[in-house]
Structure 1
């Protein structure tokens, strides 16, 4: 998962709450950091996405694939 895919996934899943969650919610699995701090520290976006989903009780069926780029059309 790329950083851009992660940011799109957060926006798609959380909408208007996404900025507050990224900046305020401390996530234990990524070193007791916020998602923003974890990104800045070089933590893999997929690891942050999984921690964010677990902490906010996102159902498993929405944890994979959200924010992925659409395939290129040929």
Structure 2
């Protein structure tokens, strides 16, 4: 992971600097791209919250042993 981060971070910075001259933030393609990235990151956060974090609470002994809970 350290190697992957070390290699991809400078590449991403260089790509961002190269594209900053041609990027128009109000163009339809840019707005759609930003929207799709926001939707995918929000979906991942919801998945992590519901499946990974809450599932551990529902599988605990206290909750499984009580019919009322």
- If the TM-score is normalised by the length of the shorter chain, which range does it land in? under 0.3
Instruction: Report the structure, 1 or 2, having the larger helix content.
Output: 2
TM-score by length of 2: 0.27
Instruction: Report the structure, 1 or 2, having the larger strand content.
Output: 1
TM-score by length of 1: 0.26
